[in-house]
Structure 1
């Protein structure tokens, strides 16, 4: 039986787990969205405190 050496594209594809990359991107997006919400909430609370102080 004759075996064919793997092509570079097959070798590179074997090094990367596609599910792992997608899940880490999703987790990063979730964290960034949460950070954005925290910043917006903080800005709204500061504005509310200033308005109540008047």
Structure 2
């Protein structure tokens, strides 16, 4: 079952590709990825600060 799940996770993006082959004008990745990265950094820093405060107590 675990092997099936791993294969599914690895092969699903290939099977669900919206553009077959290499597109001439690839879609740029812009605003949304930046927002997700900023949210991840913010969450990581808040967790780090929380653990540091907990360690002091």
TM-score range relative to shorter protein: 0.5 to 0.7
Structure possessing the higher radius of gyration over alpha carbons: 1
* Residue 31 (structure 2) pairs with residue 19 (structure 1): yes
Counterpart CA distance in 2 for 1:26 and 1:13 is 21
TM-score for both structures, normalised by structure 2 = 0.55
Which 5+ residue runs of structure 2 have no aligned equivalent? 1-22
Matched positions, count: 35
Of 28, 33, 43, which residue of structure 1 is paired with 2:40? 28
Measured against aligned partners, the alpha-carbon deviations of 1:6-50 in whole angstroms (never above 9, x if no partner) come to 61xx2x325x4x1000000000000000000000000001xxxxx
Which 5+ residue runs of structure 1 have no aligned equivalent? 1-5, 46-54
Q: Which structure shows the bigger proportion of residues in helix conformation?
A: 1
1:1-54 to 2 correspondence within 5 Å? 7=24, 10=25, 12-13=26-27, 16=29, 18-45=30-57
TM-score for both structures, normalised by structure 1 = 0.57
